[in-house]
Amino acid sequence: MEILPFDILIRDPKIKKIFRIKLVDITMEIFYSIENLT
């Protein structure tokens, strides 16, 4: 169960918000990369 500390981090609202923003950033970057390839 090494996921637990990470889980606790994600439960923190401030960290959760930052994490979500970062995730969206990465997703958008990947999306744009794919768009530019085609």
The tens-digit pLDDT sequence of the chain (38 residues) is 455 666 666 677 887 888 888 889 999 999 999 888 87
- The predicted pLDDT at position 27 comes to 92
Count of structural domains, the chain: 1
User: Distance between CA 21 and CA 14 in Å, rounded?
Assistant: 11
Dig out the tokens for 9 from the structure.
């981090």
- The predicted pLDDT at position 28 comes to 92
Buried-state track 7-20, b at ≥16 Cβ within 10 A, e below 16:
eeeeeeeeeeeeee
Check: pTM over 0.95? Answer yes or no: no
Please give the residue range of the domain that contains residue 9. Answer: 4-37
- The predicted pLDDT at position 19 comes to 82
Q: Alpha carbon 33 to chain centroid distance?
A: 17
The dihedral over CA atoms of 30, 34, 35, 38, expressed in degrees to the nearest 10, equals 170
